[in-house]
Amino acid sequence: MGRIKNQCEKQFLKNNKVNYIMTIIALMLSSAMSIALAFMLQFFVESVEYDSHAILKKGYIIGTTYLIIYGMFSFLQRNYKNTYLRKAMAQFKDYIFERILEKSIAGFGDGASARLISAFSNDLASIETNYLAGTLSLIYTAIIFVASTIAALYIQWQLAIPVLAFSIISILISLKYGEKLVVKEKETSDENMGFVAQVKDLLNGFIVIKSFKAEKEVLDIFRKKNIKLEETKEGRRVTSDTVSIFSDISSIIVSIFILALGFYMAFIDIMSIGKVLAFIQLSNYILHPVRNLAPQLSNRRAAIELIERISDVVEKEDEKKEGAVIENFERDIVLRNLNFAYGEDQIILKDINLRFEKGKSYAIVGGSGSGKSTLLKLLLGYNRCYEGDLLIDGIQIKEIDLDSLYDNISIIQQDVFLFDSSIKDNITMFRPFDNANVRNAIEQSGLVTLIEEKGDDYSCGEGGKNLSGGEKQRVSIARCLVRETQILLMDEATAALDNNIAQMVESKILSIDNLTRIIVTHRFNETIMEKYDKIFVMNRGSVIEEGTFDALMEKRGYFYSLYNVSQTE
């Protein structure tokens, strides 16, 4: 039974069948021209061998016709083939990225980032070369082999049959050994994926590496992974070269056989010299599969493995695609007896009981690792494998449609991602917003001075390199405020800002009407803290205190200690 093509693979022919079919037709015509070259050679040689002007005339006619038609067919093949490859790869990549963007936050985990970076940096080139172009080469190989075999049988069947038999045996042996090449190609892809993931991690941790003076140790880690990758690639090349060596030896044997038997037949007048030379020309096409078929098929099968690997990532459906739709946030967010763990030994949140009322402001404070950021991730639907209740207007968040959830919630994080585009594009995320909304977001995020100095069309640069850390964070804040969602989450969003700017931004956000704010912060400015309706204090995954700033200070508990420590820093 034939292999079932996945949706990724089907993108190659989507709205592209005409270009594909015309390319195949051009390949067929091109193979016919190659066969004509052998007969042209025969007629030219026989015209001298038999001193025949009639035969020479045939050679001239075939030669002239060959040049004209070959030129036409070559341009035909060039145009349709390149158009086919361009559309196939463009559609394939568009489909992959579209499917990535359709995934939920939770669905884009488990190392998907490293696998896809490896795919876009390495695997796509192999797919284009070994699957798309490789498939066309295989089709041409098959066409030219069949056409050459028919022509060879027509010229001298006694010589063609043993040559054909030996060629088929050689092809089968090459294919058998070529299966090892598929395994080697997969191993190489796996190692490359791991290598890319490691380089990504090392570069992301560059500041830490330098500050800890760990260059030598990190270099050793890199070298081990690099050597392992290159050894795997060497193994693949050795296997590929072994297949090629066997194929070359087989083709040499067949060529010697043709020369020996062919000229012997010419010596005893069974064949003319012209036919022998024509047969030698045709044998190049008969031997072409012996030299190339095994590597081509192996590389194509390896490329299919890469396509299926990409498909496994992008076509894997999220656990839940549909759910309840929240038109507007009306009442509250309630967490009741909530527990969450990444594994049996990684309990993050324990017996959380909280209520966030619509339109009020809440601060979540606590030491590092207390579960604050994890709590925000659960509110975003990042992971639905919690125990207990997490309700928005009485609906379990795991039952809510994620698109609907994101229409109501925005988050500002400490780590800022910016596109290599203008400040305005980074605020609006390339979407149309009312100018008044944009201006309001710019004012509330403290970006007015930057916009006045540089303009909203100023390029942020790759990764926001043209802006300072504080400026990038303010762009990130404006990005969330321009959406005017009813719930705003902030995870240490003002950490990169100086105290004055941070207080100004946080104060403006706390003054916005009809906005429910849940803010994780490590800043303990008394003026700002007094503006929160309630402060939740977390420690080791549990909420251990809650209340207003004044109430918590009067209690003289854990929050009181955190506050006093912050004032001495």
Residues 6+ apart with CB under 8 A from 15: 87, 91
Residues found in the chain: 569
Lowest mean pLDDT among 89-93, 356-360, 522-526: 522-526
Q: 491-505 pLDDT, tens per residue?
A: 887 776 778 878 887
Greater confidence, 102 or 115?
Answer: 102
212: number of Cβ within 10 Å: 11
What average pLDDT does the chain have?
82
Tell whether the model's pLDDT for residue 385 goes beyond 50: yes
**424/438 Cα distance (integer angstroms):** 8
**What's the predicted TM-score (pTM) here?**
0.68
**451/456 Cα distance (integer angstroms):** 5
Contacts for 175-178 with beta carbons within 8 Å, 24 or more apart? 175/293, 175/294, 175/297, 177/242, 177/243, 177/246, 177/294, 178/243, 178/294, 178/295, 178/297, 178/298
Domain 332-568 has CATH 3.30.390.10: no
Give, for 242, the enclosing helix (H) or strand (E).
helix 215-267
Q: 185-243 pLDDT, tens per residue?
A: 778 877 887 787 788 777 777 766 776 677 888 888 889 989 999 999 898 888 878 77
Per-residue tokens: 475: 């762009």
Tell whether the model's pLDDT for residue 146 goes beyond 70: yes
Greater confidence, 398 or 43?
Answer: 398
Tell whether the model's pLDDT for residue 168 goes beyond 60: yes
What Å distances lie between residue 320 and 104, 376, 393, CA to CA?
A: 9, 20, 20
Q: 173-185 pLDDT, tens per residue?
A: 767 766 777 778 7
Ranges in the chain annotated CATH 1.20.1560.10: 7-314
Q: 67-111 pLDDT, tens per residue?
A: 777 767 777 777 888 999 999 999 998 988 888 777 766 666 555
CATH topology for 7-314 is ABC transporter transmembrane region fold (1.20.1560)
Per-residue confidence band for 113, with pLDDT thresholds at 50, 70 and 90: low
Give, for 238, the enclosing helix (H) or strand (E).
helix 215-267
Model pLDDT, residue 354 = 93
In the chain, what percentage of residues exceed pLDDT 70? 91
Which amino acid is located at 32 in the chain?
A: A
Ranges in the chain annotated CATH 3.40.50.300: 332-568
Angle (CA) 448-451-455 rounded to 5° is: 160
**R_g of the chain computed on alpha carbons:** 35
Model pLDDT, residue 359 = 92
